[in-house]
Structure 1
Amino acid sequence: MPFAIGQSNPNLLPDALSASKVGVWEWEVAGDCMRTDATCAGLFGLPAHQAEQGLPLQAASDAIHPDDLPTFQRQITDVIERGGLFVAEYRTCPSASETRWVLARGRFEVDEDGVVVRGRGIVIDITESKREGHVEERVVFLAMPAEGELSPLIRATDMAISTYRELEQMGAEGGRLRAVARPLLVALGRELVRSTVQQEQEVEAQPRSKPIH
């Protein structure tokens, strides 16, 4: 079933964040089938219809900036071996003349045998935040905390993603409920951007120790 696209109230957020877009994705690891909504597909230059039906991960990886791709591939390899949470900030090239900055947030689930079976999450377009100088121009792969140390924001985002995906199984009724649930998912995604920006600024503001000669 295709992902639904909704709207949120841009007046509640700073300009750079209200301009950001939030897409939803899911990747079945064993069959290498990645499904996304149209927003996510657009950030990777993928045909929306094909992305809704399912494409291999390579289709999205091909759109990642060449300078960021090796690190992305290492991080993906690591997370599909262990499962758990994943946050990464990198550039995509949806067309030859366009570069976007995205923040990807997801969770990779393991089965009873400890094998990673799927990942699901969101991708947030933070290009305008970059252009306005809110985030340093660098690729970031964040080390996520242990499950018992998750912040309320991370837990709320996980629950919103799960709820949104469950509603897909409810047919027409689920479509109406997704229209209500999506603004919450968008707001949580943008709050995740805001939180990540704040964390980076706090790290940058910390005094660096002088080298010992």
Structure 2
Amino acid sequence: MGHGEKSILFECLPAAGVIGGWVHDTATDRVMADHSIQAAFGIADPDTINGDPMSHYVDAVHEEDRQSFAADVRTASLAGGTFHATYRIITQAGVRWVHDYGQFELDAFGRPALGRGIIIDVTATRRRTNRPQKELQIGAPIPASEQVRANLIAGHMIAASTLVRTFPAGRLHRRADEMLLEVGRLLAGLMSRKGVPRD
């Protein structure tokens, strides 16, 4: 992957719940992310050229969720395909619950290549339900067809938004951001209606 591709970022999505987007170079295990994500994960001096080590982001995850989060990222990056996880991060404002949704790709030789995705803050949903995580997971599930459709849309829009940024900035960038924003709202709405679904 060239340096230009490494520097592709999603613009910050100015919507309640949607924190922003990330790109993970799995060859170097470095992450390029929106400023809002860097701030939420406590990345004090972000490397805007090479990205920051994935370990910096892992360190910001709550200790009870850290091991499973790291394992989920590793599994998805090695196998390719959809990645989604719900976990807690430690911020200056306190503990926040987030839902991380992305897509990992393999190169032509089947080796880990690139991951990209968005992070949604679901803290408000957790507080409204006022129930422990296990109870949220065993509630009435979102209809499979609806969740599958939302996941497919998110995967395609994440890929399209990254590809769009290989072209000069313009209306297409804004349209891609608007579509990705709506997908984020859709996912947040599904989680709010039924509780955070089982990953």
TM range (shorter): 0.7 to 0.9
2:54 counterpart of 1:54: no
Quick check: 1:87–1:106 contact (8 Å CA) kept in 2?
yes
Q: What corresponds to 1:83 in structure 2?
A: 80
Q: Which 5+ residue runs of structure 2 have no aligned equivalent?
A: 1-6, 138-146
Q: 1:165 to 1:112 in 2, by over 3 A?
A: same
Q: What corresponds to 1:193 in structure 2?
A: 188
Deviations 1:23-82 (A, max 9, x none): 101101111121011222222122485357511101111110111101112222222232
Quick check: 1:107–1:119 contact (8 Å CA) kept in 2?
yes
Considering only aligned residues, what root-mean-square deviation do their CA atoms show, in Å? 2.9
CA distance in 1, matches of 2:75, 2:63: 19
Aligned counterpart in structure 1 of residue 124 of structure 2, from 110, 125, 128: 128
Q: What corresponds to 2:99 in structure 1?
A: 103
Q: 1:3 to 1:185 in 2, by over 3 A?
A: closer
Q: Secondary structure at the match of 1:170?
A: coil
Q: 1:53 to 1:186 in 2, by over 3 A?
A: farther
Q: Secondary structure at the match of 1:123?
A: strand
CA distance in 2, matches of 1:23, 1:92: 15
Q: 1:92 to 1:6 in 2, by over 3 A?
A: closer
Identity %: 26
Quick check: 1:26–1:121 contact (8 Å CA) kept in 2?
yes
Q: Which 5+ residue runs of structure 1 have no aligned equivalent?
A: 9-18, 142-149, 204-213
CA distance in 2, matches of 1:202, 1:83: 21
Compare 151-160 and 63-72 and name the one that shifted more. 151-160
Quick check: 1:22–1:186 contact (8 Å CA) kept in 2?
no
Aligned counterpart in structure 2 of residue 27 of structure 1, from 20, 24, 34: 24
Return the offset for 1:197. Answer: 4.5
Q: What corresponds to 2:113 in structure 1?
A: 117
Q: Secondary structure at the match of 1:128?
A: helix
Return the offset for 1:152. Answer: 2.3
CA distance in 2, matches of 1:166, 1:193: 24
Q: 1:201 to 1:186 in 2, by over 3 A?
A: closer
2:187 counterpart of 1:180: no
Aligned residues: 182
Return the offset for 1:189. Answer: 1.3
Aligned counterpart in structure 1 of residue 12 of structure 2, from 5, 10, 13: 5
Quick check: 2:46–2:52 contact (8 Å CA) kept in 1?
no
Compare 125-134 and 81-90 and name the one that shifted more. 125-134
CA distance in 2, matches of 1:154, 1:199: 16
Return the offset for 1:183. Answer: 2.5
CA distance in 2, matches of 1:105, 1:78: 14
Q: 1:93 to 1:51 in 2, by over 3 A?
A: farther
TM-score normalized by structure 1? Answer: 0.73
Q: What corresponds to 1:163 in structure 2?
A: 160
CA distance in 1, matches of 2:159, 2:175: 14
TM-score normalized by structure 2? Answer: 0.77
Highest Rg: 1 or 2? Answer: 1
